[in-house]
Amino acid sequence: MTSQIIINIIISFSIFTLAAISFSLIYQTTRFFHFAHAVVFTFGAYFTFLFSQLIGWSLVSAILTAIVAACLIGCMAEWFIYRPLRKKESSSIVLLLASLGIYIVLQNLISLFFGDETKFIRTWEVREGIEIAGAYVTPVQIVIIATSIAIVILVSGYLMLAKTGKAMRAVASDSELSKLSGIKSDRIILISFAIGSALAGIAGILVALDVDMTPTMGMNMLLMGVVAMIIGGVGSIWGIVLGSLLLATAQNLAVWYISSQWMDATAFAILLLFLLFKPEGFMGKKIRRTEV
């Protein structure tokens, strides 16, 4: 029993980490809650379904193409909606409302073209998982864990060592000062959207391979990612890792010992405690009120 709880925590932790990092990369450079990010998760899964199940491509080709398509969805939102609004010096509230509008429109398009029923993209028969120390884990869940570890390492290295990664950190720290230093903030924001959206597409595909998909699947993933980012600390990859681990542990213990109905309640109870007593999270810097 204990080993299965640990495995479940590791799987949830891996998914939350992917969701939180993908959202954080965009939030750091734009400082507004890009809620349309939720539908990018969903598009990753549904583009895979389109290319593999409806068009007939191989699953690998469908996944790679779906990641690129999810990346383009995020970039198009930045190109055609957010950037023009920023040039008009629109407030964060206006950008937030725009993102909610994008989310509602795109989610309804998914429902219109694919229907609201649960769909799957697995091409193999569902079987019992691999037994490890008395716990069971499926090959897809092992891939989820490995992918999460790889992405944490790659993103950390990119932000620390790559020229563009350093520029992203500079824009996140002070966008006005970065402009004076010659950094083109619009280009860096677009890169943030591209990387964050691609990671969101990957997360959505992995979740769909594990537990299937619905048009609303992205919002819950986004909310858990946002909670993990806030309690871990905005701007800190390793803080996000800690936040995701705490969130996954609390949720799975609540499900195991109380009821599955307490899963989301536990997450937001932890969020409220952090907002009250440690709003900067585990490893984040205090955010000025004007930036929230």
> What is residue 75's predicted lDDT score, i.e. its pLDDT?
97
Please report which helix (H) or strand (E) contains residue 132, including its range: strand 130-132
Res 263: pLDDT:
86
pLDDT (tens digit per residue) in 233-282: 888 899 999 999 999 999 999 988 888 788 888 999 999 999 998 888 88
Let me know: does 65 contact 47? Beta carbons within 8 Å: yes
Provide the whole-model pTM.
0.92
- 34 contacts 190 by C-beta, under 8 angstroms: no
- pLDDT for position 291: 41
State the CB neighbour count (10 A cutoff) for residue 87.
9
pLDDT at 12: 95
Q: Which contiguous run of DSSP H or E holds residue 136?
A: strand 135-137
Give me 77's structure tokens.
């939102």
Q: Hey, which CATH number is domain 2-291, 1.10.1740, 3.40.50, 2.40.160, 1.10.3470?
A: 1.10.3470
Domain residue spans of the chain: 2-291
pLDDT of amino acid 266: 92
CA distances from 105 to 169, 176, 195, 215, 291 (A): 32, 33, 23, 12, 27
pLDDT of 3 reads 87
Q: What is the mean pLDDT of the chain?
A: 91
- What pLDDT was estimated at residue 257? 83
Closest Cα partner for 155 from 264, 240, 62?
A: 240
> CA 66 to CA 71: how far, in whole Å?
8
119 strand-pairing partners? 213
User: What's the whole-number mean pLDDT along residues 69-90?
Assistant: 95
Please give the structure tokens belonging to residue 208.
Answer: 């769909």
Non-local CB neighbours of 75 within 8 Å, separated by 6+ positions? 190, 193, 194, 197
Phi first, then psi: give them for residue 20, nearest 5 degrees: -65, -45
Name the nearest CA neighbour of 209 among 68, 3, 11. Answer: 11
Separation CA 188–CA 184 (nearest Å): 6
Distance of CA 275 to the CA centre of its chain: 21
**In angstroms, rounded to a whole number, what is the distance separating the alpha carbons of residues 16 and 12?**
6
Cα–Cα distance between 185 and 198 in angstroms, integer?
20
Residue 125 confidence (pLDDT) above 90 = no
- Burial class, 292, CB count within 10 angstroms (exposed 0-12 / middle 13-18 / buried 19+): exposed
Mean pLDDT, residues 106-134 taken together? 87
Average pLDDT of 88-98? 91
